[in-house]
Structure 1
Amino acid sequence: MQQEPDIFDRMAAQGAGAQAEQSLSKEELPALVESRIAAHSISRTPPNARQALQFLLAHGWLESATKPKLFNLIAAQTTLLDALLEPLDLRVVVDDVRGLAFLAVVPDYAGDDTDESEQDDWTHPLMKRQRLTLEQSLLLALLRREFLQREQESGTGAVVRVTVDSLLPQLETYLGSTGSDMQERKRLTQLLENLRTHGMVSEVDAQDCITIRPMIVHLLNPENLQTLLLRLRALAEQGGAQGSAGNAEGTP
């Protein structure tokens, strides 16, 4: 008849088993830690891509002339950045020729509003649509036309600078004269400052010139702008004809 192990034998056996289990866990622990570190490293975004993405989210766009390293990085890793932006319904657009990179809403973005009557009020949580006045839209159309004409003459990607004084008669053609040169220049200066905050033009420099930014090509719909210019020109000509007719009727 076998004798049952006493309490001391059972305690010793349990202690030996615990030590064996503990030693086994210690042997497996380094491999487990390494696998977790590797998985964590793979899932982390590279620091340079993170920096580029943060800059785009903060500013919306950048030019190679001012941020060459970031621009080259974005141009080389557009696929990665698009994948990171996918949950936000955003994408990166790169204009290699003009040295421009900017964020845009994905083409199939529908938003949360399914009411077709409110589609004109579409907004993206991170990129709100800007409403422009008639004067702002007109100046944008004139600047875009000037930008494209200069590119045709000097080549795509050329820096386009214009004087402030050269824009005054163009505005007067469509908006009419206020009768005060100082008032017209003040109006133009205010319009340019507003467009500068949207990245369309630079500040007025010491030579009284501005640089038209390449973003203006991508921001504006050319068909709508051409329609706007034609409509304003027709209204200006109609107003001029009515004024001439009124003067003729008042002549004895």
Structure 2
Amino acid sequence: MTDFFDSMVPDATPEPGSFDKVESEALALQHDEISQETIGQSESKNQTPSIVKQAIGELLKSGVVDESEKRELFGHCVTHETLINQKLEPLDLAVRLDTHRGVAFVVVADAERGQEQGDDVDAWSHPLVRRQRLTLEQSLLIALLRQAFVLHEQEMGVGQSNVKIAVDELLPQYLTYFGDSGSDQKNESRLLTQLDHLKGYGVVSGVDKNQEVTIRPLIAHMANPRSLTALLETLQEKCKTDAGGEE
């Protein structure tokens, strides 16, 4: 019986084993195609989803993702927390979530482990994270802002609404610790300068048209009991030093 190939090449006389050879080549080609497809699927599975890249990029750039400002990115941080931590682990970084207050932030893993073990918090170093020291004045201002934040949460509940404080309300508390210059304008300008500096740390917003600042939820973690205890110890040492100098 004449098959299709015979009708195409009527005078051709195939060599022995030629069909086996063609079949083998066809199978080999099919195998290569399947292998390439499998490799492609494997590479696709290993690729980091774009939404995770977005979240990691923002965390590395700003250090924090606030739900009130970037709801979608915060949602990605919550949904893909495990994957984000896997990607950050080689950098010795990790993401921490506070879903009640709506904030995700980056921590240095070594520093966090050291704090848990009671090590000196100044002992850590990280090539990608530049340490920024707060002055005593800035630290005290953060403590005042945290106090207002905690009082709001006690009254309204955790994460129930934005925590705002008027500059006029904060100023008298601020002057209690730093003294009155005698000029209302200078006093307010000094406070606004410090608030603007703290804005870079993600703990407050800028001053709005109503002369109010929003206290960001990150402050609950930045001004934690450990750091507040360290601040109190510093103030006590300063008081002793000042008292000794007066003698």
Give the Cα separation in 1 of the matches to 2:183 and 2:113.
47
Q: Who is 1:53 aligned against?
A: 56
For the Cα contact (< 8 Å) 2:110–2:124, is it kept in 1? no
Match of 2:157 in 1: 155
| Distance of aligned partners of 1:224 and 1:91 in 2 relative to their CA distance in 1, 3 Å threshold | closer
| 1:44-70 deviation digits (Å, cap 9, x = unpaired) | 112222222222122211111222222
Q: Is 1:75 aligned to 2:78, yes or no?
A: yes
Which deviates the most, 214-223 or 83-92? 214-223
Q: 1:217 to 1:46 in 2, by over 3 A?
A: same
- Partners of 1:206 and 1:146 lie apart in 2 by 20
CA shift, 1:28, in A, is: 2.1
Q: 2:124 corresponds to which residue?
A: 122
| 1:211 equivalent in alignment to 2:237 | no
CA distance in 2, matches of 1:69, 1:171: 36
- 1:194 aligns to what? 197
Alpha-carbon spacing, 1:171–1:226, altered in 2? closer, same or farther (3 Å): farther
Out of 171, 179, 195, the position equivalent to 2:174 is 171
Amino acid at match of 2:223: L
Deviation at 1:129?
Answer: 2.0
- State the Cα deviation string for residues 9-30 of structure 1 (Å, max 9, x = none): xxx99x9998776545323221
1:223–1:122 Cα change, 3 Å: closer
Q: Which runs of 5+ in 2 are unaligned?
A: 1-14
Identical aligned pairs, as a percentage? 40
Aligned length: 221
Determine if the alignment matches structure 1 residue 39 to structure 2 residue 42: yes
What TM-score do the two structures reach when normalised by structure 1? Answer: 0.76
CA RMSD of aligned residues (A): 3.0
Is 118-127 or 161-170 further displaced after alignment?
A: 118-127
The DSSP-based 3-state class of the residue aligned with 1:91 is strand
Q: Taking structure 1 as reference, are residues 162 and 141 closer, same or farther at Cα in structure 2, changes over 3 Å only?
A: same
Q: State the one-letter code of the partner of 1:175.
A: F
CA shift at 1:142, angstroms?
0.7
**1:93 Cα deviation from its structure 2 partner:** 0.8
The residue aligned with 2:137 is 135
CA distance, structure 2, for counterparts of residue 76 and residue 51 of structure 1? 13
Distance 2:139 2:209 in 1: 26
